[in-house]
Amino acid sequence: MKYLDEYREERVAMALAARIARQVTRRWNIMEICGGQTHTLLRYGLPELLPPEVHLVHGPGCPVCVTPLEMVDKAIEIAARPGVTFVSYGDMLRVPGSRRDLLGVKADGGDVRVVYSPMDAVKFARALPSRQVVFFGIGFETTAPANAMAVWEARRQGLANFSLLVSQVMTPPAIRMLLESPDNQVDAFIAPGHVCTITGCQEYEALNREFGVPIVVGGFEPADLLEAIAMLVTQLEEGRAVLENQYVRSVRYEGNLPAQQIMRSVFEVCDRRWRGIGQIPHSGLRLREEFAAHDAEKIFGVSEPGAEESPECISTAVLLGRKRPTDCPEFARRCTPENPLGAPMVSSEGACAAYYQYRRRSAEGSTSNV
Amino acid sequence: MSDSIPVCPLPFPAGDRVLLGHGSGGRLSASLVRDVFLHAFHNPILAQLDDQAVIGVNGARLAFTTDSYVVKPLFFPGGDIGSLAVHGTVNDLAMGGARPLFLSAAFILEEGLPMETLCRVVESLRRAAADAGVQVVTGDTKVVEKGSGDGLFITTSGIGLVPDGVCLSASQARPGDRVILSGTIGDHGIAILAQREGLQFDSIVESDSAPLHTLVEAMLAAGSGIRCMRDPTRGGVSSALNEIAAQSGVGVEIDERAIPLRDDVKGACELLGLDPLYVANEGKLLAIVAPEDAENVRDAMRRHPLGAHAAVIGTITETHPTVVTMRTTVGPMRVVDMLTGDQLPRIC
């Protein structure tokens, strides 16, 4: 299949792996930010192709994993109310709240529906005027324009029964937090190609300049990721630190301007808690005041944060790239995709679930800190 | 950065009620069968966990199976719930090497179902049974209140005769055996999903729903080294191979590049964030065949219209017992795990 197969060929992958091996002289810690990239790395077994000096560190870019517990609890509470049709992307349904998940609400008779596009939720609102239709607007800058468009459309069509439960997060503030941390050991970053398709590269260039860290905007196919790693290793070995774009077939420097426009029209920047990490300043988006009538948090009230969570899950360290999923004593023992103790075991983009699904056998018994 | 203790949810009791995932054919389904049904009905025949029970009666070996059909929408490109109710049950018999003979058909109808819909389904079931050479010899009808069903559910049971000398079971795979797949994967699941989600593609993906017993006959005639067969329906190729690995206590190693996959199905899977290894098929089979017979069997399959794209996709191994691994298109190996619940669409 065109535009896919050529990025998944062994010949191409081996050539890139050989280029990396030729260049590398010492250990480098390279972090891929996006959960989709983590998924590709493990789905294709790419770490096996790399020389031992190149150490891949998985970043906090799984939108399902970082949605805060109180927001999941809030979603569950709203979805369980009579008269509510709760609409979500599929991944969120199995994320454990403090007592149950959205699938449990559905099993109890709640009207919980999965869609691929938030515009489908707007259609539900039009078709079901007697019900409150709530869409769970989670994710990074990739989902924000479509979620913003849904709210915009609902207002345009006068659909007072449509609202958005917003838990949008943004990537650059999380990278900044990692770089400002005194124990940061990440030497270079693969920036999320889909996010940059929307936002452009300016903010990553700013981070690159301020912190002197090499950043390559990378795609999501095996050849994309290997090429991004090769570009970073070249920079690191030559002592350079610039922003480069590997994913040129999708990412333009200025990004997608109409998408940025609709995001800015509907959302404004706010501080946001990330599950497993904590509060990150200016890392979230919320609905602007003029869209308050479509803000599920305002319509249904805000739940109290701070539901008790177990200290035995090491998701903070995993999300910050300080530990591997296999360093957790409960990995593949008490914590499995059937009974996840933490969010990174739920979504296929979560590092723990990806390790469980693709690397369980080879990973068992190994321990390695960054 | 926060210095608070790592946050992670408290585990909450799982499994206190039935979830949709219990019907997905993956790990949740397997645990339901093991913990509830096997526990209650335990006997040596059931414990084989094959697609059909093979029972000795007065010297003859009868294959016996049952299956319920709850597909939505009722009509889809390449078939409907009526033809599916014949093909699925015929195939469960065929996977035991049996010649299918008789079916029962039980209908659960929802109040308000248009009579025209019912008649179309019944006619389709009749035609599929006639084409497969099986007779529907008994049946039942129940009507439930509006809202208590989803239009129409069908349960069919089937009886077939296992020829002398044929003994297939998922517990018989041996290291060195080859894994043969009869054709492209994921066609049925994507046909249903495309219809359900209203997705438009350049060409219409049709379900592969078909009766496989004549293909099986041709395979059995071509070689005596067939150890077992499975039709990879719910849970797809991954579930079928994991079941074989578990029941035989062997490892399975497959090659991603050898697996036949239509371009449009591949594209749909990319779009929907699905792995074709987990997508359902209704007209394909997996066979585990002794190495010396593998080529013969594959060639015989290719001469049959339902096996034209048959391919050897892997090998049974001694290493990593009960685990299925796959050499990916870029070279390295990865684990092919059983699906946990329903395959949930990824968000980006």
What are the tens digits of pLDDT across the range A163-182? 999 999 999 999 999 999 99
Helix boundaries (H) for chain A: 10-23, 35-43, 63-66, 69-79, 102-107, 118-127, 144-156, 171-180, 193-199, 202-211, 222-238, 257-266, 296-300, 315-319, 351-363
The CATH code that applies to domain B178-335 is: 3.90.650.10
- A265 neighbors A152 (Cβ within 8 angstroms): yes
CA distance B38 to chain A (A): 20
Please tell me the distance from the alpha carbon of residue A122 to that of residue A144, in angstroms, as a whole number: 15
Please give the DSSP secondary-structure letter assigned to residue A295.
B
Q: Which residues of chain A neighbour B324 with C-beta distances below 8 Å?
A: none
Q: pTM (2 decimals)?
A: 0.87
Q: Is A343 on the interface with B (CB under 8 A)?
A: yes
Averaged over B124-144, what is the pLDDT?
98
Q: Is the pLDDT of residue B84 over 90?
A: yes
A residues 76-105 closer than 8 Å to B (CB): 89-94, 96-100, 103-104
Query: Which residues in chain A are contacts of B27 at CB distance < 8 A?
Result: 337-338
In the CATH scheme, what is the code of domain B50-161?
3.30.1330.10
What residues pair up with B68 in beta bridges, in sequence order? Answer: B155
Are β-strands A54-61 and A28-34 bridged in parallel, bridged antiparallel, or unpaired? Answer: parallel
Domain boundaries defined on chain B: 50-161, 178-335
**B35 and A CB contact within 8 Å:** no
B346 contact residues in A (CB cutoff 8 A): 36, 39, 90-91, 347-349
Q: What is the torsion angle, in degrees rounded to the nearest 10, for the CA atoms of residue A233, residue A234, residue A240 and residue A246?
A: -90
d(CA B272, CA B266): 10
B115 near A CB under 8 A: no
Q: Does B200 touch chain A (CB under 8 A)?
A: no
Indicate the CATH number for domain A5-62+181-245.
3.40.50.11750
| Among B residues 273-302, those touching chain A with beta carbons less than 8 Å apart | 273
Closest residue, chain B, to A63 (C-alpha): B347
CA distances from B277 to A171, B94, B186 (A): 32, 22, 7
Whether pLDDT at A367 is above 90: no
Residue B319: helix, strand or coil by DSSP? coil
Work out the mean pLDDT of chain A and round it to a whole number.
Answer: 91
ipTM: 0.82
Q: Which residues of A142-179 are buried (b: 16+ CB within 10 A; e: fewer)?
A: bbbbbbbbbbbbbbeeebebbbbbbbbbbbbbbbbbbe
**Nearest C-alpha in B relative to A361:** B335
Mean of the pLDDT values across residues B253-264?
96
Q: Which helix (H) or strand (E) holds A355?
A: helix A351-363
Statement: A65-170+255-300 belongs to CATH 3.40.640.10: no
Helix (H, G, I), strand (E, B) or coil at A267: strand
Q: Convert the pLDDT of each residue in A58-106 to its tens digit.
A: 988 888 888 888 899 999 999 999 999 999 988 788 787 888 889 889 8
Mean of the pLDDT values across residues B39-44? 91
Is residue A11 within 8 angstroms of chain B, CB to CB?
no
pLDDT digits (tens, 9 = 90+) for A232-268: 999 999 999 999 999 999 999 999 999 999 999 999 9
Please indicate whether, in this complex, the C-beta atoms of A358 and B7 are within 8 angstroms of each other. no
Q: Give the domain ranges of chain A.
A: 5-62+181-245, 65-170+255-300, 315-361
pLDDT in tens, A287-303: 999 999 999 999 998 66
The pLDDT value recorded for residue A345 is 84
Sheet order of strands, A278-287 included: A111-114, A84-88, A132-139, A162-169, A278-287, A267-274
Distance of CA B77 to the CA centre of its chain: 18
Mean pLDDT of B13-40: 81
Local structure of B108: helix, strand or coil? strand
> Do the strands B60-69 and B152-161 form a parallel or antiparallel pair, or are they unpaired?
antiparallel
- The whole-number average pLDDT for the span B265-277 is 88
Same fold, A5-62+181-245 and A65-170+255-300: yes
